[in-house]
A and B are shown apart, each in its own frame.
Chain A
Amino acid sequence: MVMSWVWTGLVLISVVFSLFTGQGQALSASVVQGAQAGVALAVSLAGSICLWTGIGKLMEHAGITQWLAQLLRPLLHRIFPSTKQDPALAGDLSANICANFLGLGNAATPMGISAARRMKKDSTATDELCRLIVLNTASIQLIPANVAAVRSNLGCTAPFDILPAVWITSLCSAGLGLTAAWFLGKVWKND
């Protein structure tokens, strides 16, 4: 439902602004161009999306996910203390984080939802639930494949040269996001 408002809003803004800037002709031409560009973008992403979902399947079967989960255990205990008593929750959470890390968004969501259901007590978000969301919105990802595909299609010779910047950025946003959540958890009134 949100997107209906967003889309209508975007078109409304375009129409109103074009009246002021006198760009009516360009506006009308842009409609068809935009639709075509949507298809072109999807086609340009096709190879990369299929390649990485394929490799993702391999990584799942190769046991890389379990190996990462082992590595994550100490960190998990710190961020989500209730995982110490609840191994099933720990399993869901590490599977969620690892799938996100490997870029398997489709696999990450069901695991995250399952973890959220295990964490919940009533209809109010607990501190750990808030941290789960922050961790999921920070997107710590090994290979941002879609972005790399877009770059490579635009003629970039080293589409993966942004990797270090992406890693540093997502680690910072996750770290500071969790810190903010921890701080807000202390001061927020439980209404």
Chain B
Amino acid sequence: MTDYIVPLILLLSSALVLRKKENSYDLMLQGAAEGLRLLASILPALIFLLTAVYMLRASGAMEILSSFFSPVFSVFGIPPQTAMLVMIRPISGSAALAVGAELMAEYGVDSLVGRTAAVMLGSTETTFYTISVYFGAAGIKKTRYTLPAALFSDFVGFFMASLTVRLLF
């Protein structure tokens, strides 16, 4: 069933725009050009973050870190190999993507760790960044309980990602 979700979204969005007699092909190309600009804007970050991730892995720090957090993570059923991803996800989106991609490459895309990393990436956001952008723009100084509530929501995301992958695959 999931095989048809994406093709049908493509068909539906193009057909609906055509029905309004708008130039769907041109719109699509415009959107893709915006995507290219977006990509160019994250490329420098990806280069430096993957360098840092590779260094962490080569130095052996990543393994030591995972085994250090292993007892806490296993209580909640979260694979300890995702420790680095869990820690960096609320801070930087590009760094999380870099760490997640490495996890999928190392353990295999269809492995438990690889799938959990993918679901974690797909279902959480860059919490600190979001708070600083929104509250910075709105001029909010006292954030009250926003951070604990948002971090709790992230934790639920990490927990549920591990749980759903274990149950569904």
Point out residues on A near B: beta carbons under 8 Å. 2-3, 6-7, 10-11, 13-15, 17-18, 20-21, 23, 26-27, 29-31, 33-35, 37-39, 41-42, 45-46, 49-59, 61-64, 106, 109, 112-113, 116-117, 119-120, 123-125, 129-130, 132-134, 136-139, 141-144, 146-148, 150-151, 154-156, 158-170, 172-174, 176-178, 180-181, 184-185, 188, 190-191
Chain B residues near A23: list those with CB within 8 A: 58-60
Point out residues on B near A: beta carbons under 8 Å. 2-3, 5-6, 9-10, 12-14, 16-17, 20, 22, 24, 27-36, 38-39, 42-43, 46-61, 64, 88, 90-92, 95, 97-98, 100-102, 104-105, 108-110, 114-115, 118-119, 121-128, 130-131, 133-135, 137-146, 148-150, 152-154, 156-157, 160-161, 164-165, 168-169
What is the CB-to-nearest-CB distance from B6 to chain A, in angstroms, rounded to a whole number? Answer: 6
* Cα distance, A20 to B59, chains bound together (Å): 9
**Mind listing 12 A-B residue pairs with CB under 8 Å?**
A53-B32, A54-B27, A61-B27, A113-B134, A120-B140, A123-B142, A125-B135, A138-B124, A144-B122, A150-B101, A164-B164, A173-B124
What is the CB-to-nearest-CB distance from B119 to chain A, in angstroms, rounded to a whole number? Answer: 5
Given contacts A120-B138, A170-B123, contact A7 B48 (CB under 8 A): yes
What is the CB-to-nearest-CB distance from B125 to chain A, in angstroms, rounded to a whole number? Answer: 4
Residues B127 and A180 in contact, CB atoms below 8 Å apart: no
Residues A134 and B153 in contact, CB atoms below 8 Å apart: yes
- Main secondary structure on A side of the interface with B: helix
Given contacts A50-B32, A61-B17, A109-B133, contact A161 B27 (CB under 8 A): no
Residues B153 and A173 in contact, CB atoms below 8 Å apart: yes
What is the CB-to-nearest-CB distance from A18 to chain B, in angstroms, rounded to a whole number? Answer: 4
